[in-house]
Amino acid sequence: MSRQPQPVPSLLRRLDAIERQLARKGSPFVGTGIHPNGLQGLDSDNYASGVSGFRLDGGAGTAEFRDITLYDLPNSALASPVLPANLHADTQTFNVKVAWQTIISVSITVPAGYTRALILNLVTAVVAYNNTANVEFLYVQGSTSAGNVGGWPLGSGAVGANGGTAVGSDFRTGLLTGLVPGSTLTFTGAVASSFGTWVSSGANLANLDVALLWLR
C-alpha cells in the first residue's frame, strides 16, 4: 500500500497555487496584453526594442512603437511639420555698376525645430535707367546666405543710351538644407551692368519677394 502524502507540504503547495491564481486574477492587466514596466509606464507583452510591440516610458516622457499608421490628422496634430513664410522688401535710388552689388535684402530667423526651407519663389525685379552714353544691359540676381538656389543671373535686352529704361527680373526656387534653428537666413537681390556705372536715380526701383515653406 502506497503512503499518503504528508498533509503539511501538500497543503502548502495548494495554498501557494491558490495565492498565485488570486494574484493573477487581482491584476487589472491580466489578459490585456500589456503590463507595468517599472518606468512609470507600460510595455506590451510582446515588446522587444526595435523589433515588436510598444513601450511608454513615463519617467523619460518617451514612447516607442514598432510602427504607426495615421489617418486624416490635421497639420497641428503633427506639430506643424510645414510652416509657411512670406517676405517682401523694396528700395529705390540706387546705382548700377559693372561689379555685382547688393541693392536689397530681407532676413528671417529659422524657427525652432526646422532645418530645411523649400523656396517656392525668390523673385528680384528691377527697373533702372541707363544714363550712360553706351547701349547697355542690366543683370539681376537673387541669392541666399545659405547658398545659391541654382540658376544663372538674368539680363535685360539691350538698353538705349542716355536714359534708356531697363527692366530685369530673376526668379529662383530650391531646397535649402542644414539650417540651424535660431540662425538668420538672408535673401538678397543684386544688379550689375555690362560696361559702365549708371548714376543713381529716384526712378530706379527694385522689389524682392520670397515665399517659402519651413520643413523639419
Q: List pLDDT tens digits, range 42-65.
A: 888 888 888 888 888 888 888 888
Domain co-membership, 68 together with 105 = no
Domain co-membership, 192 together with 173 = yes
Instruction: Give SS3 for 69.
Output: coil
In a domain, 190, yes or no: yes
Looking at 49, 73, 97, which one is the last position of a domain? 73
CA atoms within 13 A on the CB side of 14: 7
Question: And the C-alpha cell for 213?
Answer: 515653406
Cα-to-chain-centroid distance, residue 92: 33
Looking at 40, 73, 106, which one is the last position of a domain? 73
Domain co-membership, 133 together with 200 = yes
pLDDT at 27: 66
Domain co-membership, 58 together with 141 = no
pLDDT single digits (tens) 142-169: 999 998 787 788 888 899 998 899 999 9
Question: What is the rounded distance in angstroms from the CA atom of residue 31 to the CA atom of residue 136?
Answer: 84
Query: What's the whole-number mean pLDDT along residues 105-124?
Result: 96
Domain co-membership, 124 together with 36 = no
Q: Which domain holds residue 56?
A: 32-73
Domain co-membership, 159 together with 106 = yes
Query: What's the whole-number mean pLDDT along residues 160-186?
Result: 94
Count structural domains, the chain: 2
Instruction: Give SS3 for 57.
Output: strand
Give the amino acid at 102. T
7-11, 13-17, 124-128: the lowest-pLDDT one: 7-11
Using alpha carbons, list the distances in angstroms from residue 155 to 42, 114, 174. Answer: 65, 35, 20
Question: What is the rounded distance in angstroms from the CA atom of residue 214 to the CA atom of residue 120?
Answer: 11
The overall pTM is greater than 0.95:
no
Mean pLDDT for the chain?
Answer: 87
- Strands of 42-44's sheet, edge to edge? 34-36, 42-44, 54-57, 62-65
